[in-house]
Structure formats: structure tokens, C-alpha cells
Structure 1
């Protein structure tokens, strides 16, 4: 669902198959911020109809190096290359640069290295503002996004995840407008960005380290013993972390962040009855009812 003031983006036409070898997948070692801008660059490249050879003439970069860049292989690329790539492929330079910078820092590049790479860029020229509806949307949901991220991440990674989310949303705004509901589209970006930065244990996200700053630990529990209260909280956090994605999000928003059903519905972009249904389902998984002892004879 889009608001009345938001027009749908035009449908994209299929791009004819290009000659040459198919572009390989993104490397598994690529971090979340790097992957965010890289996926967008790959989408723009594939939609452009250019071959790697043709793109290499415009960037300029050798075909083999372009292939590595678009797969996240080799050394992390300097901004001069990515800035030129953004001009050729028509990417928004400001959110692209911020994601590139965050990914560089995540890759342990020094702030001095980042600055040296940016000195000769076009960033000093006047830059376009975000789409008209982007900032009002951000103001509406940013607080809820931050509380959700805080259930998984410490302060600095939390802020980075939220900022990355809105930069990715800016880069893909036309796709967001074309989606059935901008809120659901944006939430998928937030969830993927947060979980990519979240430590995992046995394949499951760990809520325990960050979740102790949430409202759940300030609520009364079944026990008055502090040790038992701690054990209950640990058990709850681990159980929520092992729920399916939709149930997990509802439980985090409702019980760790303290959102109402209506607030949770607005953030997720789903109807309130679905929030209530997912919450009931999650509760049955976390707190299964006792087994029936059968009829009394």
C-alpha cells in the first residue's frame, strides 16, 4: 500500500540477454554494508544492458577487475572507482557513498584511508536530496526501527544498521514505490540489515547480549528471586531468537520493545489481526500448554 501522494514507479522492461559469461554470485565473505551497495550496483548493471567490456570502457577498469568488484572479491574498492561506477549506472551518490564508507570501516580500513579516497570525489558538489516522501517516512518509523535494532545490537552497530537501512531504502526507492506496501518493503531491509550485523549461535540470532537493555527486563516475572528472574529472561530471549521470522519480529516488537498491537502493525505493514495471530502462535511455541492427562475414570 502506498500513500495517495506516492505514485507508482513505472514497470521495468525485460533486459535482453547480454553476450559473454554470466556474472558470478557475491562472495560469502562480503559484509552487510558492502553487500547492500554491491547488490544495488549489480542490479543497476544487469538492468543497463551493458557488457563488462563496455562497462570497463566507461569506468575505466579491466573486465576481470570489474567482475571481481561486482562479486566482492579482491581488495575493497576505492571510492574513485565506485563514484565513477555510480555515474555510469545512475546510482544515487550520497547513500551509495555512506554505505561504501561504512563497509570500508567494517573492512578495517582506517578513517584516513577513507578520507584519502574521498578527497577527489564529486561529493563536494551540490547533491540531490532524498525523494520527497523518504524523509517523512523516516521520521515516522525511525524510532521503532531503532528500538527493534537495539534488541539485537549494541549502540554503535545499532545506529549503523538503522542508517544503512534508510540509505538502502533511498537507493531502491523506485522499487519501494512499486511494491505492494512501502512499510513491508522497508521492514524487510531493516530486518536483513540488523540480522546481518547480529552475532549468531548455532545459526540463530543472539538476543541475549543486547536484549537486557529492552523493556522486557523491567517487567515483573513469575519469580521474585533475582536469580530466577535472570534465568527466565535468558530463557525468553533464547526462545524468541529461535522463532520463525514473522513470529520473532512480532514478539520482539511487542514484548522487548513494548509496542502496542497497532504500533507493531504500522511498523510491519501488516493488519492488526495478523499481529495478534502471530503473537498467539509465538506464545504457544514459547509457552506450550501442559499435556492433557486424559479423562478421569
Structure 2
């Protein structure tokens, strides 16, 4: 892993221009579970250098249908064509299958439909081990990722989000290895996956349901203290949700999960100076919007 520092701006796509019509954007109605495998597949296609015509010839499937599938247009795709495309794009089948199945369930496909798709495909979807370095990263980061996700999601959604994040990371592992800092790449995948499942209000994530699971409340024993602390914590959560993304992450990890600045730096793949700067700016904002504790009735 490289030393955290600010990465260069992304190139935005392959340098060469492929002939033919440009692939259109993902449809607005595509859900987060569907995008969990669709976005990595689109990235694999765009970096492959193949045209839709070439891909159509290789998988023996209509170019228009491939274009629709890569944009999330029309009916949810059957597993066979998804895996055939994955083979041509050199994507691992097992995490793709799990993400495809999760999205199928969330688009209300029946178990019979899913089983029928699985039984019909000639492509093996048996479990295979991820790359060793992927497994090492997961062993190192998974518990911390779960703590972050727990701030926004209930237990079931937390587990799904973290598992999907590692599956999605596996799908784009070569791209992750080529990134400026693999920890930052992995964190961005994790954050995107968690935020896609997090309830939002006015475009900002809600943290209120996590109030009972914070380090602050866990340390309190007296019910009266808990009630008072809960009020302050909910005010803090509302203010934190208004922070810019990275400042929000830093304050969740520092204020609500008790991480040290060094731990946050390692987890986010950002320099220690950057983390400390983000915390300073976030603290100034929080101090400006959260009223000071009431001193009414207290004799000096």
C-alpha cells in the first residue's frame, strides 16, 4: 500500500476513442443494488477497448440488447448474458453472481426466476476464493467498515452493504491495484455502497437511528445522563449530516466511533495532515451551529 497523499485527478476514461456510438448513461431508475454490479461492468467495458459490435459478435447477443443492459434499460437481465459479458470482460463470476442475485431480489424477482436463471446458465457460479491481497485488505478493514456502516444502517443492511462493497471491490480489483492508493479506492467503494442504502433527507444522510450505538452513549450508565446526552447527540448528528463528505466521514469516525486521527488516516487513505485539517474545519462548523449547553439554574 502506498503512503496516503492527494491523488491526481482521474482521467475520466480511456485515452483512445472507440468507433461507433458512445455508450449512454445509466438510466435514472436503476437501483443501488443493480448499480453495484452494473457500474463495475461498465468500467470494465470502457477500459477493454472493445466496441459494442465486437462484444456483440463475441457473445452472440444483439448489440442493441447489450447497450440496453449496460445502461440498465428494460427488464432486469438474466444471469446467462451477464456472465457471458463478464467472461469477455475478464470479470470474476462469483462476486458478480452474488451482486446480480442481490439486485434481482431487490427488484422483486421471484426465487423461482432466480433459480431458473442459475440452472439455465452453462457458466459456473461456484464459490472461488478472491485474490490473496483482496482477502488481506478485507481482513484488515472489515470490522472498521462495519462500524462506519452501523452509524447509518441497521444490522442487516450494514452486513449487506459491507459484503456488497467487498464484492464490488473484487469486481474492479485490477483497477483498485492500479489506483494511487488502494485504501482510498476501497473506502470510496465502501462509502458509495453504504450511502446508496442510507435514508436521506434533503439530500443529506440521516444518522439519527444510530444514536443508541455511539461511543458516547455506550459509556453512560445513569438514565438521566442518557436522556440528556441523547438530545445533544441527535443535535450533533443533524449537524454532522450537513458536512462535506470527507469531513462527515472524519467526524463520524472520530466523534462517534472513537478512532484516532492515525486510524482514520489509514482507513480513508488520506494523509494525517488532511484528516486533521478536515477535523478542524468540521469542528468549527459544528461549534457554530450547535448551541452551547444550557447553564440555566446553575449557580456560579
> Offset of 1:124 from its aligned partner?
4.3
**What is the alpha-carbon distance in structure 2 between the residues aligned to residue 105 and residue 216 of structure 1?**
37
Shift in CA distance, 71/135, structure 1 to aligned 2, threshold 3 Å: same
Alignment pair present for 1:49 and 2:86: no
1:82 maps to which residue?
82
Contact 2:261 2:275 in 1 (8 A): yes
What secondary structure sits across from 1:103 in the alignment?
helix
Alignment pair present for 1:193 and 2:193: yes
The CA deviation string for residues 37-73 of structure 1, in whole angstroms up to 9 with x for no partner, is 2122222222333332332233232222211111001
Contact 2:99 2:167 in 1 (8 A): yes
> Offset of 1:119 from its aligned partner?
1.7
> Offset of 1:21 from its aligned partner?
1.8
Aligned counterparts, 1:3-152, within 5 A:
16-122=16-122, 124=124, 128-152=128-152
**What is the alpha-carbon distance in structure 1 between the residues aligned to residue 234 and residue 118 of structure 2?**
45
**What is the alpha-carbon distance in structure 1 between the residues aligned to residue 245 and residue 139 of structure 2?**
25
Aligned counterparts, 1:186-265, within 5 A:
186-219=186-219, 224=224, 227-265=227-265
Contact 1:15 1:49 in 2 (8 A): no
Deviates more, 1:161-170 or 1:223-232: 223-232
What secondary structure sits across from 2:120 in the alignment?
coil
Aligned counterparts, 1:168-187, within 5 A:
168-187=168-187
> Offset of 1:82 from its aligned partner?
0.4
**What is the alpha-carbon distance in structure 2 between the residues aligned to residue 131 and residue 226 of structure 1?**
45
Aligned residues: 281
**What is the alpha-carbon distance in structure 2 between the residues aligned to residue 69 and residue 93 of structure 1?**
17
| Normalised TM-score (structure 2) | 0.85
1:164 maps to which residue?
164
> Which blocks of at least 5 consecutive residues in structure 2 are unaligned?
4-12, 292-300
Contact 2:33 2:103 in 1 (8 A): yes
What secondary structure sits across from 1:195 in the alignment?
helix
Contact 1:176 1:185 in 2 (8 A): yes
**What is the alpha-carbon distance in structure 2 between the residues aligned to residue 171 and residue 246 of structure 1?**
25
1:293 maps to which residue?
none
2:296 maps to which residue?
none
Deviates more, 1:260-269 or 1:156-165: 260-269
The CA deviation string for residues 75-114 of structure 1, in whole angstroms up to 9 with x for no partner, is 1101011011111221111111111111112212223322
| Normalised TM-score (structure 1) | 0.86
> Offset of 1:280 from its aligned partner?
2.2
**What is the alpha-carbon distance in structure 2 between the residues aligned to residue 136 and residue 225 of structure 1?**
41
> Offset of 1:273 from its aligned partner?
3.5
**What is the alpha-carbon distance in structure 1 between the residues aligned to residue 100 and residue 252 of structure 2?**
30
The CA deviation string for residues 132-178 of structure 1, in whole angstroms up to 9 with x for no partner, is 21111100110000000010111111111101111111111122112
